[in-house]
Amino acid sequence: MLTIFLVWLINLTIALALGSLVHAILFKNSQNLSEYLLFNGLFGYMLLIWLTLYFNGFGLYWQIISFILSIIYLILRPKYLKRLWQAFKSLPRRYKMIFYVTSVLVLMLSSVASSLPDNESYYIQTVKWANEQGLVKGLMNIHPFLGQFSGWHILQAGFNLHQKLFTFNDLNGLFFLIFVFYWLHHFQKYWAGTKYWLGLLPVVSVFFIFFIDSPSPDLPVILLSLMVFDLFIQNYHQLNRHQFIEILLLSGFSFLIKPTAFINVILVLILWWRHRKQLYNISLRITIFGLVLMALWMSKNYRITGYLFYPFDFLGKGLKPAWQYPPELLQYMAQLGKQESRAIAANSHLISGFWQWLRQPGIHQISNPLMVFLLVLFPVVLILKKQKEKLSNAYGLLYLLGLAYFITLLFISPNFRFFLAILIFLTLFIMSLLSQPKFYKYFNMLGWGLFLSVGIYWGIHQHWQIKNLWLPQPVSNLQARFYTKEKADFKYHYPDGKNLFWQTGDAPLPAVHHNQINYFEKNFGIIPQKNTEKHYFYSQFERK
């Protein structure tokens, strides 16, 4: 916990410096939107690391340079640090206590190894590639999950000292605390005593516990989406130019983390179209900004997978680099994902497919029926309360977009993580309409209590120990020995374990389990290879 806290202080310094720079450039030193400083700093840092990875990995030297330059900038322009400190000091005592207690719990959760399966299959490995090698061409040919190389893992590489004793991958914990501070500051500053859906956020905070101890891109996308929803509603009828720029930054941030956040981009386009006359003189800059982000996303996809619009093969037949992931394997992985998520497209009948998805085991037994129930209930409550509460049309539009988004996911990949932001919005909005502001504090006390209780239980369940006070657990739960194997010209590392397939844990690069290689060779006649001269990985066909 102590070492994680020290690393977080280093990272906060970098985020604050870059956020201050972004604020000074885009908002002309305005004192408004100070609560978004750290979010903007994280976005700026991600873009900086992203550009670096085209040439090399982002290792310790880059991190030291970033930290030193950040300290120099904050010394020269200390007003942003003072402004952030004043924002914290202005919090009521009970809010400060909530922040302190939450911080201790989040540090505890961040010091235990993640239980998410994706952590062992590609989170750890993606961050290692970003730290050690950068955006290497054809990475997906090694392991298909590496095609999901996320902007969040790129950012994690910049926040990971990447030494044997200091590899934590705990950016999610820090990001959650930044969001908690934003919520506490935002709620008490603007909305205390009024009906405000985001003011009830602690009621659903228990959902975030299971994302804190790993660099899962789902957590930042969910939280950033909630912020975008909030800004969209506020600016739907009357636009604030600074807030529009902020929603543009947050939307771009979330999309580069995970393309499933495209709904946020649509919300930005709606605001721009509604207020295009007011935004006419900055429309060109907005367009350039969007094109730059799209170019970054497509170029990353192209280098990693060989497809500009991965996971779709759009234009894939026209652009065929030597490292392109084989189309037949791409189709196989897409179909496998649909089957595992119970997508309707994987079933021959619409009704039976939907029924199978609705009856999925595990957490889906709660989340899936709840999502359907809320989608039915929301318009009923909205119609009944619209005149009385004088609600904005933005809520209805956001609901329709969420409904379309949900229906789209049903046919592609209806994993509850992908629609969790919509589910939370619907839950909190309905609660805000059916309750009075005077009860918010009781709901929130109950929510924080549940968050702390479940968090402590989860930390104990993950075998938290006293020694984790100063030194966290390893990033991987795979307590395995690593072996080296060679297939033709491809030398790779894998953990022991006969039943492993996708899992590689913290194996040295390049890592892939031999069970996976043998499966694809047997069923598709394809094995990964490396072009040592041009430094890219490709798939070699060995059909018999």
> What's the average model confidence in pLDDT over 195-207?
88
| Residue-wise pLDDT tens digits, 271-280 | 999 999 999 8
**Per-residue pLDDT at 442:** 86
Backbone angles phi, psi at 17, to 5 degrees: -65, -45
Other residues' Cβ atoms within 10 Å of the Cβ of residue 447? 17
The three-state secondary structure class of 539 is strand
Residue 348: predicted pLDDT: 65
Comparing 72-86, 305-319, 390-404, the range with the smallest average pLDDT is 305-319
β-strand partners of 526: 541
Q: 544 pLDDT exceeds 60?
A: no
Highest-confidence segment of 213-227, 374-388, 477-491: 213-227
Instruction: Tokens for 193, please give them.
Output: 């005593």
Q: Are 202 and 447 in contact (CB under 8 A)?
A: yes
Write the pLDDT tens digit of every residue in 468-481. 888 888 888 888 88
- Kindly report the number of other CB atoms within 10 A of residue 429's CB atom: 25
Tell me the pLDDT tens digit for each residue of 387-444.
Answer: 777 788 899 999 999 999 999 988 888 888 889 999 999 999 999 888 887 788 888 8
Residue 452, classed as helix, strand or coil, is: helix
The confidence score (pLDDT) of residue 367 equals: 87
pLDDT, mean of residues 145-174: 84
The string of DSSP codes covering 470-482 is: TSPPPS-S----E
- pLDDT tens, residue by residue, 510-526: 999 999 999 999 999 99
The distance of Cα 78 from the centroid of its chain, to the nearest Å, equals 30
32 has a pLDDT exceeding 70: no
Residue 114 CA to residue 116 CA, distance in Å, equals 6
How do the domains of the chain map onto residue ranges? 2-325, 482-541
Q: What is the pTM of this model?
A: 0.94
pLDDT (tens digit per residue) in 228-242: 999 999 999 999 988
Amino acid type, 69:
L
Which residues contact residue 372 at a Cβ distance below 8 angstroms, ignoring those fewer than 6 apart? 358
CA angle, 431 then 36 then 265, to 5°: 70
d(CA 34, CA 55): 34
The pLDDT-based confidence of 141 (bands split at 50, 70, 90) is: very high
The number of angstroms, rounded, from the C-alpha of 280 to the middle of its chain's C-alpha atoms is: 32
Q: Give alpha helix (H) positions in 341-486.
A: 350-358, 364-389, 393-412, 420-434, 440-461
Q: For the chain, first and last CA: distance in Å? A: 54
**Local structure of residue 413 (DSSP, 8 states):** -
Mean pLDDT of 352-363: 84
What are the DSSP calls for 37-97, one per residue? HHHHHHHHHHHHHHHHTTTS---HHHHHHHHHHHHHHHHHSTHHHHHHHHHHHTS-HHHHH
